[in-house]
Amino acid sequence: MIALFIVFLVLIILLGIFLILYYPIKRYLDKKKYKELVGKKLYKLALNKDYYLLNNLVIKIDDEITLHVDHLLCANKYIYVIVDRYIPIGVSGKTEDNTWFNYFKKNKKKAIRNLVLYNEERTIRLAKFLGWNESKTPMLISVVCLNDSVILSDELENFDHKYSFLVKKKNLCKVIEKTEEDAQVSPLDEENLDKLVKTIHELSITNENE
């Protein structure tokens, strides 16, 4: 009887330890593998839809500006410049503000950059580098992809723009597919797109080796 009680007590203690450590460990593993998980989702989409996907690009725009792009997805109608970020707990802010706030503990917060403005600026720079100007229809779309567990303020949760998106990982592919489906524009020229992808890839390889 005593032995059974001791075994039961040990199991209860182990269960308690497991419950205490489960969420911190899960958050750590999710954060560590987040970029890889986003890449896998995009790879599956690219494979199914016959899109081009380039990951971890480093492109030197000029002597002062070098762009790092987490994922560049070249679909039928648009090219998606995707930045992925894992943000613990919650984020509040406005899409037009330079600074957001990351709430990570009770009454604890820290300022972080506005990822929407950050990626929109990089997307425009990359578009101009590739020959786009304001007289043309936008060809590149900015996408900020956050982890599913992050809690967003209402304004960020409901952010919606024709050429810029803030999404959680679970909705990433859905948003891209819907954008492609709804777009009232002609498909990108396949031959030119192929050349563009090769050029970007070569530029990135060159810059990484410098």
At 149-165, the pLDDT tens digits run 999 999 999 888 889 99
Predicted local confidence at residue 13, as pLDDT? 67
* Structure confidence at residue 180 as a pLDDT band (50, 70, 90): very high
Q: Is 109 exposed, middle or buried (0-12, 13-18, 19+ CB in 10 A)?
A: middle
Q: How many CA atoms lie within 13 A of 100 on its CB side?
A: 23
Predicted local confidence at residue 61, as pLDDT? 80
Other CB atoms closer than 10 Å to residue 46's CB: what's the count? Answer: 19
* Structure confidence at residue 22 as a pLDDT band (50, 70, 90): very low
- Determine phi and psi for 42, rounding to 5 degrees: -70, -35
First to last CA, the chain: 71
